[in-house]
Structure 1
């Protein structure tokens, strides 16, 4: 199979993954965001004397200098879905490139099994580790002044996760032929545990403090919904890409 064919299958799988991710945003994440926005509206009303200004305008408008929001919430939701599809497309292309380069070194039975292994590694390194160290916060949580610091820490954790995902296979290949397979696998697991522990111990946590008016269930619902969105994207990407690769190769030849 040509590299272009693999790339096209990665792009198609990425679009499917992005559509699935957008569906989770609209059905699971968005209701939690609206609960958080209600808290922000309540804060604005309280700050402006019960929701009315001296001009008789709602406090939610005063939060934007007395004008209507530049982008409506419905438009933001649609834009979020489009962004999810574009992100899925980009991830699918990168996924196909990595798969093409590492196919012969990935464990698993068939291309579907190999794709699922790469999916698990990608989700753990790129989404799960940053999501646990720098968990997502709803709109009612977070200081605008710390956006740059939070973004830097999140990207740092993401890069460390990718580095760990590359280092463990390198260690495994270095140990191959020198130690027994069970011992090699145990050392691989130990390397992952030590690497993750160092990330959690050495990288600073989020600088934001959760306000007292944000319920704990809202915070955790948003974080779980965010992880569910990412997990859905990776799962659909891996399964669809693996199935497309299996279908393109056809059945394995059988010896006479």
Structure 2
């Protein structure tokens, strides 16, 4: 059994790598233009403040002559948007694939009479909802260098707290659905558990603090919208491709070793 789990883990990481390639394509085509536009807005605002400071006597002629007009880049923007972006997305995809394949091993045969493809889709959809979609609804992604840098630690903490709450609520919904199934039936139990998850998520979104300074008030709304749509699209692409690729690989592996999906245990 341990050997089979290791093989599924390897296939999960391979599927994550493939998903990362597709996600990188979406990020480069749909996401990078909005990042460039965001950087241009920031540079224009910085240049305006610099000009205003000199106009109102913010620096003397001697000081102005010694100031650096352009900050030296450690990593060029071209490298960030190509090799840097690809490396980050691919590593994330491989790690995601490995973790999700382990979750697949645990869920297979315990979520009902689902085959490998359906189980992979179910696990990926659940992970996308709890880890990506729900936190995104409360704390949507923002372009780089847009928010207040002094609050980045607080904003990061709140985001990961939302992920933790979403995952815990998702687990609670699954447990509640399984316990209600003998009395209500599978369909009704699923509806009740799903409604409870939505209600609890809404309450969490209401009571958790907002990132009020995550976006500057004068930042172009169109650029922000494009960046957020692209960010969500990258995540959706990653999960969809992973579910399709890993479901196919897992099904072929299990068929080759003659492993059948175990039937769920009868309800007490």
Equivalent position to 2:65, from 52, 55, 64: 55
Kindly indicate whether the alpha-carbon contact (under 8 Å) linking 2:107 and 2:119 is maintained by their aligned counterparts in 1.
no
1:135 positional shift? 0.7
TM-score using structure 2 length: 0.85
Equivalent position to 1:180, from 179, 182, 185: 185
1:35 positional shift? 0.4
Match of 1:211 in 2: 216
Match of 2:248 in 1: 243
**Any idea what the Cα deviations from partners look like across 1:93-129, whole Å, max 9, x if unmatched?**
1001111011112356421111111111000000011
Equivalent position to 1:98, from 97, 103, 109: 103
**SS state at 1:71 partner:** coil
- RMSD value over aligned CA atoms? 2.4
1:89 aligns with 2:99: no
**SS state at 2:244 partner:** helix
Unaligned 5+ runs, structure 2:
55-62, 260-268
**SS state at 2:141 partner:** coil
Kindly indicate whether the alpha-carbon contact (under 8 Å) linking 1:141 and 1:208 is maintained by their aligned counterparts in 2.
no
Match of 1:69 in 2: 73
TM-score using structure 1 length: 0.89
**Any idea what the Cα deviations from partners look like across 1:3-33, whole Å, max 9, x if unmatched?**
1111111110111111112112211111100
1:56 positional shift? 9.2
**SS state at 2:109 partner:** helix
1:212 positional shift? 3.8
Distance 1:202 1:212 in 2: 23
User: Residues 225 and 108 from structure 1, CA distance in 2 versus in 1: closer, same or farther, beyond 3 angstroms?
Assistant: farther
Between 94-103 and 172-181, report the one with greater CA deviation.
172-181
**Any idea what the Cα deviations from partners look like across 1:221-248, whole Å, max 9, x if unmatched?**
1111100011111111111000111222
- The number of residue pairs the alignment matches comes to 247
User: Residues 11 and 203 from structure 1, CA distance in 2 versus in 1: closer, same or farther, beyond 3 angstroms?
Assistant: same
Distance 2:185 2:237 in 1: 36
Displaced runs of 4+ in structure 1, greater than 6 A? Answer: none
Unaligned 5+ runs, structure 1:
none
Match of 2:41 in 1: 39
Distance 2:109 2:247 in 1: 14
Matches within 5 A, 1:1-256: 2-49=4-51, 54-55=64-65, 59=69, 61=70, 64=71, 68-77=72-81, 78-107=83-112, 109-208=114-213, 210-250=215-255
